[in-house]
């Protein structure tokens, strides 16, 4: 095991445990057996539309099934285990949460801590390309940041939320803030998030003094109602039309997660092919260009092999009750806020809307990229984050 990027800062309060991904072989054999035994329903009018306007096609699922049967998870493990990984127990409200995270620790004295927060149906996998760029670009002595990529409670190798009480994004934020404190970053860090991660990053920047700034690449909100549409660029108008179409035709999954998380959670735990259909569709529909099939299979394999799908969708229950919304005055970010705008993201609302949600100190519009920005456009994403941090003058 390489020791590069593994030296914690002297301010760390506790030492996390080293972690290596090692899925039991029996679980992988079971996955292959289930895939081989599974059947795919007959083609329908809806599942034959190459436009995928009604969801994935029969042909795509048949092809994905065959490739998944021959998918080599061991190669994925080997690659992921080249990144420093850890677990740390965080005690919160009477419960101990074992939080899994990837990290690149810098040996530079004034390195800035940065926490990267995934969403759904993402995972820490969203940021491995970014980490790979950083460890290639910098030595441990020159890396300008301590980069922490945690798995949310209930995702991948982190502990699941409790079964006897409600658990929400506010709880996730509190746990992650404590994680950063225990790692030695109580003097300040920057939070970055997309999708649901943008919600947690917003909470951190609003409620916790340790979070000095937030960079987002997602902003789910309703029309503020007081902005002249003449201010919108042609690009913004096109993206906003996409946002509206998504809300009309693509948001059904969210309603299911919000209202029947138990049913969908139990149902998708019975079949890897069902999970692939439900999750794989999102990687196809929410990206600018279709990602490589192996990339989708890696993410769905992680969900299946860690048996985590049912414990990943709890944030959607906040859809009808949570006050944590980008447009809420209570969650206006007064600290510096950065934003990266990608045209094919279903949260690509106009800049004028985003400006109503925080102290916008950095904004960059891109001409390509979708919902999974760090996965789709890792270099553009990283450049934005680095430029935003440079403008903060925190070092």
Strands of the 95-104 sheet, one edge to the other: 17-18, 85-92, 95-104, 145-150, 112-117, 189-193, 211-216, 333-341, 358-365
Question: Closest Cα partner for 312 from 85, 156, 186?
Answer: 156
- Residue 252 CB partners (closer than 8 Å, separation 6+): none
pLDDT in tens, the chain (395 residues): 678 999 999 999 999 999 999 999 999 999 999 999 999 999 999 999 999 999 999 999 999 999 999 999 999 999 999 999 999 999 999 999 999 999 999 999 999 999 999 999 999 999 999 999 999 999 999 999 999 999 999 999 999 999 999 999 999 999 999 999 999 999 999 999 999 999 999 999 999 999 999 999 999 898 998 898 889 999 999 999 999 999 999 999 999 999 999 999 999 999 999 999 999 999 999 999 999 999 999 999 999 999 999 999 999 998 776 667 787 889 999 999 999 999 999 989 999 999 999 999 999 999 999 999 999 999 999 999 999 999 998 86
Residues acting as catalytic residues: 195, 316, 371
Q: Which residues of 364-392 are buried (b: 16+ CB within 10 A; e: fewer)?
A: eebeebbbbbbbbbbebbbebbeebbeeb
Tell me the three state secondary structure of residue 264.
helix
CA 25 to chain CA centroid, nearest Å: 27
Q: Which of 181, 84, 173, 180 is nearest to 124 (CA)?
A: 84
d(CA 295, CA 31): 17
81, two tokens: 């285990």
φ, ψ at 162 (rounded to 5°) = -65, 155
Q: What is the pLDDT of residue 393?
A: 84
């Amino acid at each position: 095991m390489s020791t590069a990027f593994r030296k914690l800062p002297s301010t760390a309060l506790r030492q996390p445990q080293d972690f290596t991904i090692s899925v039991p072989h029996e679980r992988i054999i079971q996955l292959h057996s289930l895939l081989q035994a599974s059947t795919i329903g007959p083609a329908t009018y809806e599942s034959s539309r190459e436009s995928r306007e009604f969801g994935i096609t029969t042909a795509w699922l048949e092809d994905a099934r065959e490739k998944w049967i021959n998918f080599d998870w061991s190669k994925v493990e080997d690659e992921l285990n080249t990144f420093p990984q850890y677990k740390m127990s965080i005690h919160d409200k009477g419960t101990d949460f074992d939080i899994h995270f990837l990290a690149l620790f810098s040996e530079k004295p004034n390195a800035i801590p940065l926490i990267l927060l995934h969403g759904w149906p993402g995972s820490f996998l969203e940021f491995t390309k970014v980490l790979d760029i950083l460890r290639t670009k910098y030595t441990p002595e020159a890396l300008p940041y301590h980069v922490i990529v945690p798995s949310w409670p209930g995702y991948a190798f982190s502990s699941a939320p409790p079964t006897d009480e409600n658990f929400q994004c506010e709880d996730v934020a509190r746990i992650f803030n404590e994680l950063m404190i225990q790692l030695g970053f109580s003097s300040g860090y920057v939070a970055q998030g997309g999708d649901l991660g943008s919600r947690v990053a917003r909470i951190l920047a609003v409620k916790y003094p340790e979070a000095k700034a937030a960079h987002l690449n997602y902003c789910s909100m309703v029309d503020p109602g007081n902005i002249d549409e003449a201010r919108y660029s042609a690009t913004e108008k096109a993206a906003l039309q996409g946002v509206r179409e998504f809300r009309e035709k693509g948001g059904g999954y969210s309603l299911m997660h919000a209202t029947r998380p138990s049913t969908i959670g139990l149902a998708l735990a019975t079949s890897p092919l069902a999970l692939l259909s439900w999750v794989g569709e999102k990687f196809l529909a929410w990206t600018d260009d279709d990602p490589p099939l192996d990339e989708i299979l890696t993410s769905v394999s992680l969900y299946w092999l860690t048996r985590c799908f049912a414990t990943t969708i709890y944030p959607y229950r906040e859809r009808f009750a949570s006050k944590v919304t980008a447009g809420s005055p209570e969650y206006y970010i007064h600290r510096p806020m950065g934003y990266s705008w990608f045209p094919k993201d279903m949260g690509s609302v106009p800049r004028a809307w985003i400006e109503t949600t925080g102290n916008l100190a950095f904004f960059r519009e891109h001409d390509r990229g979708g919902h999974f920005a760090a996965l789709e456009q890792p270099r553009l994403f990283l450049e934005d984050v680095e430029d935003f941090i440079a403008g903060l003058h925190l070092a």
